[in-house]
Structure 1
Amino acid sequence: MFTKNRSRVPQFGSLKRLWRPQGNRCGGIALWLISAVGVVWGAPVRADTVSLSTVMEQTLLHHPQLQLFPHQQRIAEAQALQAGIRPNPNLSLSVENVLGSGEASGFSGAETTLAISQLIELGGKRQRRIELADAQQREMQQSYEQQRVEVLAEATRRYYRLLHVQTLLDWSERRMALEQDALQRIQARSRAGAVQQADVSGMALQLAESQLQHRQLQRQAELARYRLAAMWAAEPRFERAQGRLRQPKTVPALAAVLDAVNQAPQYLLLLEQGYAAAAQSRLAEANGQWDLNLGVGVKRDEASNDTGLVFSLDVPLQLSHPNQGNLLAARMAEQQLAQQQQLLRGELRVQLMAVYQSLQAQTDKVTALDHTLLPLAQQWLQQVQKAYQTGQQNVQSLLAAQSRQFDLERQRIDALHAIWLQLLELERLTGQALAPSSSSLETES
């Protein structure tokens, strides 16, 4: 199990030690390195904000699904203990020639035998049981590793969602402020007779639509807060996610992403299942070996008043393999898992390729918005505003220019959110830290 100090939130770099157990085959699993931490580090810390490190810590401590693992671990330890238990000896007592007729009447001719026998397992059965229990324990551990990656990825995904919605709220407030200012200017010009009342109505309609959208975003933010706090089964005691969205300075190389397939949690779990299946096959083969039952005892003959030792040896007649069906089934399961491993590696590569291409597309979109589309939209809006002041453009043109600029800004926010989600998906699939370090991801002011 992991150990942690509950009294403080860990700083960047210590969160890895916080939740990585010792002896983990999936040592590369490090969702704490999800570069989303770069989204939050460096932002001003407020009492009503929640950081990603706090989200991770609280999720690990209190997520109901992860709390089952200690019980599962104790069960696996008990099964390993059971696998190593040797057979107990047997004590037997037999009485012959009693309660009959003639010389066998009563107990005068009784022959009493007291013996102790021990089953001796051959073929390494006990060692094979121990090996299977150990393999199943590692499989359970790896299953937990995959489950933990999934849970932490979901917590991070919900954190991103809150960050996304609150960014949209800031964008919506700026839009409403600009439209409110524009409405006041148009109303002033309308009172002066410079524009028609229809221009005022058009701008008022645009502002009303933006206000409605803002209220809807507020409800989405409230839901996002509750969904995030639900990851640690609590009510939200925060108002905002700490930090701001921004574009990563670098993205992982495709070769590094594809090379990480061999360390993917799903693939490692399938490997452990394969090891367990091989151990099961070896146990089935060992169970087909015959065992010895050795005994020694004392025999008492009441008629002759004699006492002697008795030795016994029981060996089964192996006319056929007693475990051939189980052995065949175990070997088929082992072969099936080997084929599933190859199939999964191929599927993971396809999934990673699809996510990576989507990541590149969103990155290209943000770059185009920053360097071409948004500057052109800003230039168009300034030109329309200037022309509107001189009466060369109407309100419809002004509304179109304003809407176009804000639509492009909304696209940029959505694209940034998509980029972080896709980086998260790459790390969830591979279990590896593929995104940039937090030092290159300081938040925007």
Structure 2
Amino acid sequence: MPPLKSGRSPWAIGCAVVAMTTAVTGPAWADPAPSFEALLGRIGLTPTTLEADALLDAAEARVGQAQVRPNPELGLEAENAFGTGPFSGYDNAETTLSLSQDLELWGRRGARVEVARAEAGAAVLRRDLASVEAANRLALVYAEAEAAERRFLLAEEALAVTIADTRAALILVEEGREPLLRGIQGETEAAAARANLDEAHAERDAAFARLTAVAMLPTPVTSIETGLLDRTPAGVAAIAGTTPEVRVAEAERAAAGSRIEVERVRARPDVRASVGVRRYEAEDATALSFGVSMPLPLFDRNRGNIDAARAEFRAAEARLMGARQEAEADRNAAEARLRASASRVSATDAGVTAAEEAYRLSRVGFEAGRISQLELRSSRAALINARNAAVDARLARVRAEIDLARLQGRAPFGTSQ
């Protein structure tokens, strides 16, 4: 039986490869993203930080409101008027104009102010935590966009290298040193490389769109000139301290403790003093009236609210205990991941250098006819994988730095907010 033959000639395969080469090139346009430091300076304009600032303003306004004394009450009362007999008109009426004031005894006002101040302190820490989280999110989106751009450039280079290898194979096919199957395989590999390039292009555009949205830039980002992937993290050398989550939990526990005292004070009688002027129409005389009033705590002693405040305080203590338990473990884990990622970056860089040399030697050997196309394909795939692994390692290092920066309450890479 005669061998199966392909209906495609080496010339047709070469034309397809040339078409792929033309498709790689495109219009050159770029709108570079601002530096990470420039975007970090605008972190206060992000929705999360604006929300935290507004909540802090509300908490501070409540502190001012808590310091205000209650308003006095003005009352006008008429007795013995418009009745029957001697009280048929207003001639025998008794009219009283009085002014009453809540005395706020038992430290009621001080307890109220203490709660408001404690809640404002917690709002300050939440605002700081929101700023840190916004900075870390910006760093992650920035690094992911940079990594997506590098993967796209690597995919372009991989396509160019694959096409060059395919052309070299076609030359050997024309010379009769390789079967036609090698050319067809080369075209298939070039098509796969083109598909990878299209996928990398889509991922890059999506990452740039996310960066544009998160950074609230007026124009879309199409390139990154100064990135984060090659920066050396400063996380491990940073001074250790209490994590922002622990500080927030401590402030929330303090506020919960202050609310217990407020409910205890509310259980005591609310004393009110009053003074007034009474007019006696029948005698055409006036007299002063004064008094003190207070409710009798026979039925409502605010027990339920006191118990609820105590329960909320226990819940706040439990949250603080959990935050403290997780803080140290998370910090140690983040520092270990950062050290491991730094080692991985060094290893992948060495791997890229070795893979580049191996591919160069394989290409020389293939053109000289000393090694097969399969060996060349293997060395090319190893080079592509090594370069992509180097990008992944750098992105992992950025993520490790971001995790540690969040635990330390700072912006990544030692930058200030």
Corresponding residue for residue 151 of structure 1: 134
Tell me which structure has the larger Cα radius of gyration.
Answer: 2
| Counterpart among 87, 92, 96 of residue 79 in structure 2 | 96
Contact 1:69 1:144 in 2 (8 A): yes
Contact 1:159 1:228 in 2 (8 A): yes
| Counterpart among 66, 82, 90 of residue 65 in structure 2 | 82
| Counterpart among 392, 395, 399 of residue 414 in structure 1 | 392
Distance 1:388 1:234, change over 3 A: closer
Q: Which amino acid aligns with 1:64?
A: P
Corresponding residue for residue 429 of structure 1: 407
Q: Which amino acid aligns with 1:341?
A: L
| Counterpart among 276, 279, 295 of residue 297 in structure 1 | 276
What's the offset of the Cα at 1:107?
3.7
SS in 2 for 1:238: coil
What's the offset of the Cα at 1:266?
1.9
Does 2:308 correspond to 1:329?
yes
1:14-413 paired onto structure 2 within 5 Å: 48-61=32-45, 63-69=46-52, 71-234=54-217, 236-243=219-226, 252-253=235-236, 259-260=240-241, 262=242, 264-319=243-298, 322-371=301-350, 373-413=351-391
Distance 1:244 1:406, change over 3 A: farther
TM-score (norm: length of structure 1)? 0.77
TM-score (norm: length of structure 2)? 0.82
In 1, Cα distance between equivalents of 2:325 and 2:404: 15
Corresponding residue for residue 441 of structure 1: none
Q: Which amino acid aligns with 1:148?
A: S
Q: Which amino acid aligns with 1:407?
A: N
In 1, Cα distance between equivalents of 2:170 and 2:129: 60
What's the offset of the Cα at 1:379?
4.5
What's the offset of the Cα at 1:165?
1.1
Distance 1:315 1:202, change over 3 A: same
Tell me, which stretches of 5 or more residues in structure 1 are unaligned?
A: 1-45, 439-445
Tell me, which stretches of 5 or more residues in structure 2 are unaligned?
A: 1-29
Identity of aligned residues (%): 23
Of 103-112 and 213-222, the range deviating more from structure 2: 103-112
Distance 1:67 1:244, change over 3 A: closer
What's the offset of the Cα at 1:327?
1.9
Contact 1:182 1:203 in 2 (8 A): yes
What's the offset of the Cα at 1:170?
2.3
Contact 2:162 2:190 in 1 (8 A): yes
In 2, Cα distance between equivalents of 1:100 and 1:334: 58
What's the offset of the Cα at 1:79?
2.5
Of 129-138 and 299-308, the range deviating more from structure 2: 299-308
Q: Which amino acid aligns with 1:418?
A: A
What's the offset of the Cα at 1:435?
4.5
Of 428-437 and 216-225, the range deviating more from structure 2: 428-437
CA distances 1:126-153 after superposition (whole Å, capped 9, x unpaired):
2222222222222223222222222222
Q: Which amino acid aligns with 1:347?
A: E
SS in 1 for 2:47: coil
Distance 1:163 1:312, change over 3 A: same
What's the offset of the Cα at 1:121?
0.9
Of 342-351 and 377-386, the range deviating more from structure 2: 377-386
Q: Which amino acid aligns with 1:217?
A: A
Distance 1:437 1:278, change over 3 A: closer
What's the offset of the Cα at 1:108?
4.1
SS in 2 for 1:129: helix
Distance 1:436 1:292, change over 3 A: closer
Q: Which amino acid aligns with 2:178?
A: V
SS in 2 for 1:50: coil
What's the offset of the Cα at 1:332?
2.1
In 1, Cα distance between equivalents of 2:52 and 2:410: 22
SS in 2 for 1:313: strand
Work out the number of aligned pairs and report it.
387
Distance 1:291 1:418, change over 3 A: same
Distance 1:53 1:375, change over 3 A: closer
